[in-house]
Amino acid sequence: MKKQKKLLGIVALVLVAVGLLGIYLLLTKKSEEPKEPAGDKVIRVVTIDAQAVEKISIEPSGAERICLVKSSEQWQREGSAVFPINQSVASLIVDSLLSNLNALKELDKPAELSQYGLEQPKSVLKAYQGEQCLVTIKLGDKVPNADAYYAMFDDSDKVYTVASNYERYMMLTWDGLMESITLPTISDVEQIRSVSIESTIYTNFEAFYDEENPYDYSGSHMFNWYFGTPYDGYVNADYTNTTWYTQLSNYSSYPYVGVVRYGLDGLEQYGLDQPNTTLTVSFMDGTAKSTITLYLGNEDENGNVYGYFNDIDWVFLFSKTIVENRVKAQTYTWSYLKPFWPNTNLMKQMTVEAEGNTYTLLMNHSEDGDTATWNGKDCTEILSDIGSDLFNIKYSKLVSAEEKEKLGLSANDGEANAAILQNNFGEPIICFEIVMTEGLAGSQVEVYAYDDEYCIICVNGNVNFLCDKRDIESYIMLMKLY
């Protein structure tokens, strides 16, 4: 009896072991079975060999047709091998879209195609291998309240909803397909060395950087920029405010609102075969001097301006504001509007003639300090007053180009200009001859009575400005008191 019970126990244990083994094998088998993919299910609509695609045509409604052809594993613009296609973007059309022609769902009993924007699709994409069309995709409207679009494939009358990446690639423009364009930039305005504007619609303008400017009377490189055209001779840029130095920052970058075309043929349709304005900026690029030249032409229907750069074979559109911030010279605002520097520490001698009298300021510079005489009389203690009084003479108004032409004044012809001014306005009411210390140029200044309100000032033979007549009369009165 005991043996029988023992045998039954062994059989029970075996049965339990077999059962556990069966459960283990069942679980193991289930773990080896493929799992359903996570996320929403998709419908494979069309399957093509995407890597065999040799041509892609995209026709967005109301936009320029895109046609890409593959040559030597590179995507090119059809008919223009030089157009710089962004290869990564072009490849994504194949790898992300054409390799996965899936839909989110198929519509059950779809309505009229016009309800989905498919009667006149937003875009049609066709992919070819040789002359064979592998797939045609028609893109419709966005699905309301969903990140999806309606679409149809090939000649089927079935309507699907597809993911938004269809819209991303089927609404591409040439701007989105081109390789990024490296526009000229200047990393630091301290690198800029000259600015020139030649124009038939704006004022011509020239500005130059010169660390050794001979007319920098500050002695500390405050006047290291000066202006040429439209001035006769030149006029220093104003260091006392930030207007010119703020303007320089505009020349460091050139943002555009659009790209018109690649290549510089057919420039006449943009008015760029004979640009109305040329902006040239030179700057130091390391130890070498580089140049940015921007050519500007006509405006489009929105008032934007066509233009292109030297060494970049693209035609761009720039906003009118961007253009005018760079080529509409505010010369008077940027200029140092005083003919004299207030300090006398770099002056050797000043001779003044007024009302038939001659006054001479002689300077003596030594390690012990500056001393001075005014007509032989020591004036060291009032030297700063003499400089400040000179400083009070300032320019009030530009002499227009029309007035210069009317008077017959010529640039840099001091002898002729002096004769013209005397013929028109009589003898100067005051003259200054200033001799500076070594390395700095002197100044010859004549002031003529222009009318009841203004005097006209001739500096080193050039006429650019009028000044307030009262400032001159005040200085003559103060000079007699020294």
Confidence of residue 67 (pLDDT cuts 50, 70, 90): very high
Lowest mean pLDDT among 25-29, 43-47, 65-69: 25-29
Residue of 145, 129, 88, 149 lying closest to 137 (CA atoms)? 149
Confidence of residue 2 (pLDDT cuts 50, 70, 90): very low
Q: 53, 70 in Cβ contact below 8 A?
A: yes
pLDDT over threshold 70, residue 293: yes
**Single-letter amino acid, residue 124:** V
Alpha-carbon span 261 to 312, nearest angstrom: 12
Query: The tokens 């303008």 sit on which residue?
Result: 205
pLDDT over threshold 60, residue 239: yes
Going by the DSSP 8-state scheme, the letter that residue 329 receives in this structure is -
Cα 50 to Cα 42, 103, 288, distances in angstroms = 19, 17, 49
Q: What pLDDT does 128 receive?
A: 98
What is the separation of C-alpha 215 from the centre of its chain, rounded to a whole number of angstroms? 32
Q: What pLDDT does 81 receive?
A: 72
Alpha-carbon span 465 to 463, nearest angstrom: 6
* Greater model confidence, 82 or 19: 82
Average pLDDT over residues 214-235: 91
Quick check: helix, strand or coil at residue 434?
Answer: strand
Q: What pLDDT does 35 receive?
A: 40
pTM of the model as a whole: 0.71
395-398 vs 369-374, strand pairing mode: unpaired
| Burial (CB count within 10 angstroms: exposed 0-12, middle 13-18, buried 19+), residue 399 | buried
Alpha-carbon span 332 to 243, nearest angstrom: 11
pLDDT over threshold 70, residue 34: no
Q: What pLDDT does 65 receive?
A: 95
Lowest mean pLDDT among 155-159, 259-263, 267-271, 286-290: 259-263
Query: The tokens 């104003």 sit on which residue?
Result: 238
Alpha-carbon span 305 to 312, nearest angstrom: 17
Q: What pLDDT does 472 receive?
A: 96
DSSP 149-165: EEEEETT----EEEETH
Confidence of residue 40 (pLDDT cuts 50, 70, 90): low
pLDDT over threshold 50, residue 310: yes
Confidence of residue 22 (pLDDT cuts 50, 70, 90): low
Quick check: helix, strand or coil at residue 7?
Answer: helix
Q: What pLDDT does 387 receive?
A: 87
Quick check: helix, strand or coil at residue 90?
Answer: helix
Q: What pLDDT does 17 receive?
A: 52
Q: What share of the chain is helix, strand, coil (3-state, %, to 5)?
A: 25, 35, 40
Quick check: helix, strand or coil at residue 320?
Answer: helix
Q: What pLDDT does 46 receive?
A: 95
Q: For residue 408, how many other CB atoms are within 10 A of its CB? A: 12
Nearby residues of 179 by Cβ (< 8 Å), 6 or more positions away: 84, 85, 86
Alpha-carbon span 269 to 283, nearest angstrom: 31
Quick check: helix, strand or coil at residue 207?
Answer: strand
Average pLDDT along the chain: 89
* pLDDT above 70: percentage of residues in the chain: 92
Q: pLDDT, tens digit, for every residue of 265-291?
A: 889 999 999 999 999 999 998 889 999
What is the separation of C-alpha 222 from the centre of its chain, rounded to a whole number of angstroms? 27
Average pLDDT over residues 422-445: 93
Q: pLDDT, tens digit, for every residue of 88-140?
A: 999 999 999 999 999 999 999 999 999 999 999 999 999 999 999 999 999 99
Alpha-carbon span 142 to 140, nearest angstrom: 7
pLDDT over threshold 80, residue 294: yes
Q: What pLDDT does 263 receive?
A: 79
Q: For residue 16, how many other CB atoms are within 10 A of its CB? A: 10
Lowest mean pLDDT among 75-79, 126-130, 157-161, 272-276: 75-79
Q: What is the dihedral of CA 374, 378, 383, 389, to 10 degrees?
A: -40
Q: pLDDT, tens digit, for every residue of 372-428?
A: 999 999 999 998 888 889 989 999 999 998 999 999 998 888 889 999 999 999 999
**Single-letter amino acid, residue 32:** E
* Greater model confidence, 351 or 11: 351
Q: 48, 101 in Cβ contact below 8 A?
A: yes
291: which strand partners? Answer: 282
